[in-house]
Structure formats: C-alpha cells, structure tokens
Structure 1
Amino acid sequence: MKVGIMQPYFLPYIGYFQLIKAVDQYIVCDDLNYINNGWINRNNILIDGKKRLYTIPLKKASQNKLINQIEIVDDFSRLFKIVKVNYAKAPYYKEVIGILEKIFSYNNRCLSDFVLNSMKEVLYSLRIETPIIISSTLNKDCSLKGKNKVINICKEMGAEVYINAIGGQKLYNKAEFAAQGIELRFLETEIIPYKQFGKEFIPMLSILDVMMFNSIKEIDRMLNRYRFV
C-alpha cells in the first residue's frame, strides 16, 4: 500500500497531482493548523503574460485555527474575470472555464471543503481515480506532531510506502520511517515545458495553466514525468 499525505492546496501545480496518481490512498489533512503565506488558498497563474500570485480572501485566518475552521470570503467573480481575460485565447479555454464555473459555484465556503471540492473536480477531469480520504475522519492520535503524526496515519492506513513531495526532504528522514517498517520516497517533478501563447515558458504554475494549454492525453503523459529520490 502506497500512501500520500498533504494539506489541501488551491489548484496546485502538476506535482501535487502526480503524487495523488502515484499512490493507492491519498489523505488530505484538513485538521492541521492553517499556514500563513502557504499554498492552501493561493497559487500562481499567468496575468499579462507573467507569473502572478492570486490569493483567496479569508475571514479571520490564523495559524491558531485548523484549516477546516476557516471560512472563504470570496465570490470568485474577480478571479473568474482575470482567468477569462488572460486565458481566453488558450487552446483548451472552453473546456477549462467550464470546470472553473463548477468549482467557483460550490456553495460551501469552508476553506478545506471548498479546496477539496476543487481538487476533486480537477481529478475527475484528469481521470485520476485515487481514493481521497479526509484526515479528520481517521482514527488517529491527534496529540502527535510532525513526522510522528505522519507515521501514525501511515500505520492506520496500513501503508508500506509513504510518498512525499520533494520538499519533504527537509522534514523527514528515511531511516526514521524505515525503523517503523515504512519506506519513505520523495517525488521530484520534471520541468515539463509546453507552449504558453508562444512566449518563454514559465514553469510550476497552477494546474489551471497546464489544463489551459494541454489536452487530457498530453497531461496524462506529463503526470508520469517524475522520479523518486
């Protein structure tokens, strides 16, 4: 059993979806503390042909609150307009704008629920069928922190392999996981260039950008372009 465990991110980069596809069960941690200036409620897209950050406004967001305790205060009309203006000439604009309409019209404004729903809409479109499990529904030891919390969840899920994003190398040690009978792997995404209006390629943007410029078949090939370290 291969397991991935991450926070819910708003329309994240393709590596996030590579990780979901690479595992047998994917746990979305909705009951961790919110992180200021993280990726839970923001991501990069093309605006005027340049990499720009869009952030979802939140109500009284605090690192003292859990992700599932925070409310979105955005009707997404501004972001929708930004996307329409900046991506209207993208080859797959029509298909993707329909997906965004469904995402933005989701009525639940709980941050974790809204972001999770947006993830599921994208996963459905990309034909990724990995089961998604919400961490707050698991029978786990909530007093644990850091790697101990991750190991506890892995054991609860019966995981033999835990796959984390490449940034996890700063947090987790393979020997410590191996001592608990769990193989730790890190997924490193390739830089995968594609045409963006014929200009110099800007990597690591939101999956929204990838979907605007690539067919589902092309994205499926991209989803397999990574290595384990």
Structure 2
Amino acid sequence: MRLAIMQPYLFPYLGYFQLINAVDAFVAYDDVNYIKGGWINRNFICAKDHKQLITLPTQGASPNKLINQVLVGNGSRKLLQTIRQTYSKAPEFLTVFPLIEDIFHQEEENLARFVDYQLRQICEYLGINTTWYISSELKYDKALSGQERVLAICDEMGATHYINAEGGQTLYDKGVFSSRDKQLSFLRTKTTPYPQFSNTFTSHLSIIDVMMFNDKAQCMKLLQGYELV
C-alpha cells in the first residue's frame, strides 16, 4: 500500500496534490508543531506580472503548539476578496471561485480542520479519490519524532511504499526504510507551463492558480506530470 504523510497546507502547489493522487492513502499530519513562516497558512498566487503572498490570519500561532491547537484569526474574508480581485478575469474563474468561497465560508475556527476541509474539497474538484486520514486520530507512538514517527505511522497503516515530496530527501533514508521492509520514493514535479496573465510563466504557485487557468481535464493532465525518484 502506497502512503503519503504531509502537514496540511493552505492552497498548496500542484506537487502536493500530485502526491495525494499518487498514493492509496494520505495522512494529514496535524499533530506536529506549527511552523511559523511555513506553508500551513500561506501561499503564493499570480498577481499580473509577479507572485503575491497570501496569508490566512491565525490566533495563538506558535512553534510550541501543534498545528491542531492553532485557531484561524480574523481577516479571512479580506483574503477571499484578494483572490476574487486577482483572478476575476481568469478563464476558469466562474467555475472555480464558488469552490474558494465555500472554503472560506465554513464556520471552522480550528486551523487544522479549516485547512483539512479545503484540501478535501479541492481533491474532490480535481477528481482525486485517495483514502484520507488525520494523524491525531491514529494510534501510533506519538512520543517518537522525525523519521521514526513516520515509520510508526507506516507500520500502523500497513504501508509498504512511502512516498514523500522531493524536499524530503534530506529527512528520510532509503536504507532505513528498506531495513523495515518498506520502499521509499520521492515525487519530483515536472514544470509544465500554462497560460497566465503574463507572458512569463511562474511555477510552483498555489493550486488556485492552476485551477483558475486550466479546466478540469487540463488539471487532470497536470496531476500526472511527475516522476518518482
């Protein structure tokens, strides 16, 4: 069984959803420490000729708290308006923006659950049917950390093949996984340009950008644009 584990990110880039689509089961890693300045509550969108950082406000955010202990702050409606103004002239705006509105209109104060909901809704839109789990609801040994913690989740889930984003190559050792009878692979996203507002393509933006400029069929093709290394 192929498994991926990732912290829940706000409107992550295409590679995040390629990873979810590449596995049989996905675990939203909500019971690890919140990373200030990471991607849990922010991402980049395309603003005409440059990329623009968008941030979901939080309450009580601290590296000393778990992701599922942080709350959503005030200002999410302003963020929604920024997305509306930025992409109002994008070809798929009328199809995609109602989905974004639904995400922001949820009455959820917990950051982990808020972000988890938006990930699931986007997966449904993209036609991704991977089985979904929340790490805090699993029964692995939570005293473990790092690679050993991930291996413990793999053991509980019965995973034989763990797939991580390419950046995880500095965190996980194929030899250690092999010694535990598990295959370890890393997903490398292939950059496939698509039309944006500017003549210069900007890659690795939020999935919002991908959906606003590509219809569902095109999005499905982009989801296949990766290799395992």
Question: Normalising by structure 2, what TM-score?
Answer: 0.98
Partner-residue secondary structure (3-state), 1:139: coil
Asked whether 1:218 is paired with 2:214, we answer no
Distance 2:74 2:40 in 1: 15
CA contact (8 A) 1:47 1:82 kept: no
Choose 44-53 or 33-42, whichever is displaced more: 44-53
Query: Match of 1:66?
Result: 66
Q: Kindly tell me the number of residue pairs found equivalent between the two proteins.
A: 229
Cα deviation for residue 85 of structure 1 reads 1.4
Q: What does the per-residue CA deviation read over 1:176-220, in whole Å, with 9 as the maximum and x for residues that have no partner?
A: 110111100000000110000252111000000000000100010
Cα deviation for residue 75 of structure 1 reads 4.2
Asked whether 1:121 is paired with 2:121, we answer yes
Distance 2:184 2:74 in 1: 38
Distance 1:65 1:77 in 2: 25
Tell me which amino acid in the other structure corresponds to 1:108. E
Asked whether 1:139 is paired with 2:139, we answer yes
Which sections of structure 2, spanning at least 5 residues, go unmatched? none
Choose 53-62 or 116-125, whichever is displaced more: 53-62
Tell me which amino acid in the other structure corresponds to 1:192. T
CA contact (8 A) 1:31 1:67 kept: yes
CA contact (8 A) 1:68 1:112 kept: yes
Percentage identity across paired residues of the two chains: 45
Query: Match of 2:33?
Result: 33
CA contact (8 A) 1:8 1:29 kept: yes
Cα deviation for residue 81 of structure 1 reads 1.5
Asked whether 1:11 is paired with 2:11, we answer yes
Tell me which amino acid in the other structure corresponds to 1:85. Q
Q: What does the per-residue CA deviation read over 1:140-173, in whole Å, with 9 as the maximum and x for residues that have no partner?
A: 0010000000000001000110000000001111
Question: Deviating runs (4+, > 4 A) in structure 1?
Answer: none
Tell me which amino acid in the other structure corresponds to 2:143. S
CA contact (8 A) 1:32 1:66 kept: yes
Distance 1:156 1:60 in 2: 32
Shift of the 124–102 alpha-carbon distance from structure 1 to 2, 3 Å rule, reads same
Partner-residue secondary structure (3-state), 2:89: coil
Distance 1:47 1:79 in 2: 14
Partner-residue secondary structure (3-state), 1:54: strand
Partner-residue secondary structure (3-state), 2:63: coil
Distance 2:139 2:207 in 1: 32
Tell me which amino acid in the other structure corresponds to 2:84. K
Distance 1:84 1:225 in 2: 28
Choose 115-124 or 43-52, whichever is displaced more: 43-52
Tell me which amino acid in the other structure corresponds to 1:102. D
Partner-residue secondary structure (3-state), 1:38: coil
Query: Match of 2:42?
Result: 42
Partner-residue secondary structure (3-state), 2:129: coil
Asked whether 1:54 is paired with 2:54, we answer yes
CA contact (8 A) 2:56 2:75 kept: no
Query: Match of 2:91?
Result: 91
Query: Match of 1:183?
Result: 183
Query: Match of 1:100?
Result: 100
Q: RMSD over aligned Cα, in angstroms?
A: 0.9
